[in-house]
Amino acid sequence: MRELRRLTGRTDRLFAMTDLRCLLPKHSEAAFRPLVSRLVKRGDLIRLCRGIYMLDDCELRGSALLGRVVVLLRANCFNYLSLETVLSEAGVISQIPMGRITVMSSGRSNVISCGDYGVVEIVHTQKTPSGLTGLLTYDSSYGLWRASVVQALQDIRDTHRDTGLVNWEIANEFVR
């Protein structure tokens, strides 16, 4: 635990199980898993979801924490914030999704509960980074790419999600 704390900053204290495994390469699988379970029971590690853990003193919270979970869970996929998360933060939809982020991903769709920390909704897309050039910007607070409002509106339509909450007067200002 001391080594983990020494290696990371106060906001970089999230780990996939494979990250933790690298710190103890000499432990067998039979010894490693119970060790992680003991650290969780002791409160040193917090299990966010299957295979993702956080040190107890991590300063990340809310949507930023959920964004980092996506980065770890879908490290081999193309992911970007979109849909209700982007539209809510831009004021295009009136309701603010609390403790929930929506992400488009080249991986499969899924809803991942992170317990008291929130929910990540992942929606599959076949779009490629090259096809979205100019429509994405990097959001360092989430650690993810972020769709423009125009792209988020297109993603809403493409995924056949409810557009009843969209304030089209405000949305049209972004589309021009």
Q: Above 90 in pLDDT, residue 25?
A: no
Sorted by where each begins, the domain ranges of the chain are 2-55, 77-175
pLDDT tens figures, 149-170: 999 999 999 999 988 888 888 8
| Residue 44 CB contacts under 8 Å (≥ 6 apart), including other chains | 1, 55, 56
Q: Is 123 helix (H, G, I), strand (E, B) or coil?
A: strand
At 130 the pLDDT is 94
Q: Above 80 in pLDDT, residue 85?
A: yes
- Let me know: does 80 contact 104? Beta carbons within 8 Å: yes
- Let me know: does 73 contact 14? Beta carbons within 8 Å: no
Give the global pTM.
0.86
Q: For the domain bounded by 2-55, which CATH number is listed?
A: 1.10.10
At 9 the pLDDT is 59
At 8 the pLDDT is 60
Mean pLDDT along residues 45-70: 89
110 against 98, higher pLDDT: 110
